[in-house]
């Protein structure tokens, strides 16, 4: 996985998230201990009241639809401008996706989080502040970033917990993977990076997917952090093309 560098919008998120994290440290401890272990619910909706079952610490790339499956993953939102457009395209194409949400964004736009869940998509914890240096940070800091985001996303969704954890920029650590897995969130990687955050043009993103989908099924897009019109255009072309090639759309393995 390529490691993305935090700057601009992500830098502002980091500053805001650090303040939230400092205030919420005590809440994180409660969140980590609030639910007993038990059987995992295998449905898309995982309510907060359901028991937590530990999952694998290995970073997931495979699709639950097998070798012909594709996992569409959407990072950094939700965003009031772009997330509704992405949701509309997914619905038009009959595609379910995984939304890796930043905690502060989820808290700011709970109606969009609820819409994502209502449309049958899955939630993923993408930390509070999108700090791409997570792998250099202390364990207490990593814990706060992951657990506070989990709480924010769960509250915004109306009680549906994230099923995955994606480290910003792929900055996983053994500790963060174990912590996420202990909360029932499978660490989630990617195989195809469209680099849409750099806005290379919709045609370039489409070409990347076509050229690299043979590398593996999990494709990375973004629905926040700036103008995502190129992402919307790329998805408009990529989703039907993938169907035409015989792929089916699924979720990352858990």
Residue 222 annotated as catalytic: yes
Residue 75 annotated as catalytic: yes
Hey, how many other C-beta atoms are within 10 angstroms of the C-beta on 33? 8
Catalytic residue among 4, 10, 130, 222: 222
Half-sphere exposure of 182 (CA within 13 A, CB side): 15
Half-sphere exposure of 151 (CA within 13 A, CB side): 21
Catalytic residue among 4, 75, 121, 131: 75
Structure tokens at 67: 């070798």
Is residue 58 within 8 A of residue 189, CB to CB? The reply is: no
Per DSSP, the residues of the chain read -PPPPP-THHHHHHHHHHHHHHHTHHHHHHHHHSS-B-PPP-SS--BTTSPB-----SPB--BTTGGGEEEEEEES---TTHHHHHHHHHHHTT--EEEEE-HHHHHH-HHHHHHHHHTT-EEEE--SS--TTGGGS-HHHHHHHHHHHHHHHHHHHTSBPPSEE--GGG---HHHHHHHHHTT-EEB--SEE--GGG---HHHHHHHHHHHGGG-SEEEEES-SS--HHHHHHHHHHHHHHHHTT-EE--B--
Which active-site residues does the annotation give?
75, 222
């Amino acid at each position: 996985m390529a490691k993305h560098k935090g700057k601009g919008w992500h830098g502002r998120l980091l500053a805001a998230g650090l303040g939230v994290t400092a205030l919420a440290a005590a809440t994180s401890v409660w969140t980590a201990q609030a639910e007993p272990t038990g059987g995992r619910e295998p449905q898309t909706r995982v309510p907060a009241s359901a028991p937590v079952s530990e999952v694998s610490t290995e970073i997931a790339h495979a699709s639950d639809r097998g070798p012909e499956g594709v996992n569409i993953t959407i990072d950094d939102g939700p965003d009031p401008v772009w997330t509704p457009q992405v949701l509309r395209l997914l619905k038009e194409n009959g595609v379910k996706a995984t939304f890796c949400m930043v905690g502060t964004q989820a808290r700011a736009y709970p109606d969009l989080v609820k819409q994502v869940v209502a449309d049958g998509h899955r939630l993923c914890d993408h930390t509070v502040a999108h700090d791409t240096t997570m792998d250099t940070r202390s364990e207490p800091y990593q814990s706060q970033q992951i657990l506070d985001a989990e709480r924010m996303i769960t509250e915004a969704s109306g009680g549906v917990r994230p099923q995955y954890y994606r480290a910003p920029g792929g900055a996983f650590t053994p500790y963060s993977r174990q912590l996420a897995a202990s909360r029932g969130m499978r660490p989630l990687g990617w195989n195809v990076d469209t680099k849409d955050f750099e806005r290379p043009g919709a045609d370039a993103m489409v070409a990347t997917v076509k050229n690299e989908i043979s590398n593996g099924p999990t494709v990375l897009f973004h629905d926040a952090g700036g103008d995502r019109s190129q992402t919307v255009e790329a998805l408009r072309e990529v989703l039907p093309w993938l169907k035409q090639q015989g792929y089916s759309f699924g979720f990352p393995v858990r």
